[in-house]
Amino acid sequence: MDQSLLEALHVRMEGSGKKILVLAHGFGTDQSAWKHILPFFVRDYRVVLYDLVCAGSVNPDTFNFGRYTSLDAYVDDLLHILDALGVDRCAYVGHSISAMIGILASIRRPELFTKLILIGASPRFLNDEDYHGGFEHGEIEKVLLAMKSNYEAWVNGFAPLSVGADVPIAVREFSLTLFNMRPDIALFVSHTVFSSDLRGVLGLVKVPCSIIQTAKDVSVPISVATYLKNQLGGRSTVLMLDTEGHLPHLSAPNMLVEKLRLALSG
């Protein structure tokens, strides 16, 4: 199981440092999303990279629709990978869906993680009575319908909106990895993400967290970063990035590297 999973998810370790750093990508990308970030950390860390099972870079036959119905199966994959690599302590950087995967993994195995760094993280996208997640139910239904009816048109609209900042190369990179996803898998994972609600477990997180939030993110309002900081059970800080968008590792990598260094040193 371990070896085949490692191969299927293209697990690799780069760098020559003593400490371990995990870079886990979000929805619609793959591990290539970290290519602008990785060179800054290979001297001081051994960096673990892998693709989520839903990534377009992974053989779609690997994606089991019966298994990946919640984020727990993704947590299983992450913990399998770390155990197979013999990792007993690591700092973890998770973007979007992987921020939530890291949170759940740290509740299960708190001794594994020295620090969680959460980029564009949201415990719930749907608005609630006393919670602003950024989306009404009808808006989410519209997104899913658009994906289902014409995936290509949806990507062409969603990618620039998500990148936010005027960085055409980042839009191209994100579009490419979105197009690599099989549309039925992309739709299924979106359903899973949009129906997730992790608010009730945030207090169980005891690992220190740094929440990295851009000034304007179409997917995650700033109020969500504040909510996370207040609800997480361990020591947590919010680091604001003076840029727009949901994918700062593609659109503003140098700015993000500064914040990552700051988060890792704290």
Residues carrying an active site annotation: 96, 217, 246
CB of 212 within 8 A of CB of 263? yes
Strands 236-244, 113-119: pairing is unpaired
The single residue listed with the structure tokens 């549309």 is 183
CB of 244 within 8 A of CB of 120? no
User: Which amino acid, 262?
Assistant: L
Q: Exposed, middle or buried: residue 242 (CB in 10 Å: 0-12, 13-18, 19+)? A: exposed
Question: What is the spatial distance between Cα 239 and Cα 260, in angstroms, rounded to a whole number?
Answer: 9
Question: What is the spatial distance between Cα 93 and Cα 218, in angstroms, rounded to a whole number?
Answer: 21
Going from the C-alpha of 17 to that of each of 40, 208, 234, the distances in angstroms are 12, 22, 27
Going from the C-alpha of 2 to that of each of 60, 68, 80, 224, the distances in angstroms are 18, 17, 6, 35
